[in-house]
Amino acid sequence: MDRRQLADFLRSRRERITPADVGLPAGPRRRTPGLRREEVAQLAFISTEYYTRLEQARGPRPSREVLAGLTRALRLSDAERDHLHHLAGAPPGPPPGPSREVRPSILALLQRLPQAAAIVLSATYEVIAWNDLAAALMEDFSALPRRDRNLVRRAFLGSPGRRMYGVSDVEEFSASAVRNLRATAGRYPDDPEITGLIGELLDGSEEFARLWAAHDVCAAPTLCKTFQHPLVGPVSVNCDVLDITDRDQQVVIYTADPGTPSENALRLLSVVGTQRMDVPL
């Protein structure tokens, strides 16, 4: 355990977070940058005295539970979490659940694809990033609560008229998603969100329960599909998937063949965006 480096690292991470970042009032007499020590301790569910000793390089080796609390309180990235564990002399194990942190380079990539609709999916099929054309083609994900951005939940539990944006391969997608979700559950057996999602799907969908009981884990790739868009009609697209293995994420890119009506439809959607022109004022 490197107490001095651990102390410096904790202090640097604490000073970069503002009270507003974690929902705390700034207060009129805040003299230190970032959070106060007692605020970090409160967020990490440890005593202020214990956290102060860690920052003064006088504390004992923190347990994995304490490190998990500090990771959460200081909003550490995956790389920072691993670094914290190494400084504390407790090499990190596998992450407890799928990462939802999208690399800045991937976010920039989405915006550099103006003629393609692109989204990033977590290992549980949650849409965690998207570009403007994807929002126009599928839905304005920024207007949805997090739980409603999950495509597996939408496929099996959504209302019939809004299950999967009218895609032509909803049955194939559903079967593929179940296979991938079973593999994800095997990689993250202790993640409560995955356990809760699977339980919700088993209780709410006989179709999901049937597919889940098959114990299949190999999914064939989807090469093309057609969206039934309420404004521009059917949009047939190629579907390409790029794996981000270090984050257990996927970039899904939808493109139309050049010179087709679907290419023209995507161009129109890139102009219209998420406006609903079919809804009367």
Provide the pLDDT for residue 232.
92
pLDDT above 70 for 163: no
Rounded CA separation 164/173 (Å): 9
Contact 230, 80 (CB under 8 A): no
pLDDT above 70 for 28: no
Among 62-76, 90-104, 180-194, 200-214, name the one with the lowest average pLDDT: 90-104
Rounded CA separation 124/151 (Å): 9
Provide the pLDDT for residue 210.
95
Superfamily of domain 3-88: lambda repressor-like DNA-binding domains (1.10.260.40)
Region 114-132 average pLDDT: 94
Topology of domain 104-272 in CATH is: Beta-Lactamase (3.30.450)
The pTM (predicted TM-score) of the whole model is 0.68
Provide the pLDDT for residue 42.
87
Q: What is the pLDDT of residues 128-156, one digit of tens each?
A: 999 999 999 999 999 999 999 999 999 99
The residues, ordered by sequence, that sit 6+ positions from 158 with a Cβ below 8 Å of its Cβ are 164
Contact 64, 48 (CB under 8 A): no
Domain boundaries, the chain: 3-88, 104-272
